[in-house]
Amino acid sequence: MSNYTIEKIENGIATIRYPDQSWAEVVLTADMTEADLDQQAWNFRPKTGEAPAFVSVGATRTAAEKPQETVEEPVVPEWLQNREDAYGNVSAQIEYITENGLEAWQAHVAEIKAQYPKE
């Protein structure tokens, strides 16, 4: 929670002041709620932190987008991919069971597993 005072409103912009005398300008909209205004004030509230070693007054840096982390897709073993392809989608499996019975499906699965054994 951070207290603030609305000092002025001009051209749809509210100037708000915080207890430490810092201030922010918040763009107002006709459909804004009190909660929206409080959220904006919260976003601009005074913040404290600790500077990392690479940050110093007078340092010149270049703004850049942070590289996106890549998530490697898990490697699916070939035997497993072959089995999944042979089983078919869930609808096809249910249809097979419905038309041929569960025992026939179990036999079919055993054949697929024998054809594509774990490596």
- pLDDT range class, residue 80, cuts 50, 70, 90: very high
What's the whole-number average pLDDT of the chain? 91
In 25-101, which ranges are continuous DSSP H helix? 34-44, 78-87, 90-100
State pTM to two decimals.
Answer: 0.42
Q: Return the number of other C-beta atoms located less than 10 Å from residue 40's C-beta.
A: 19
For residues 2-11, give the mean pLDDT: 93
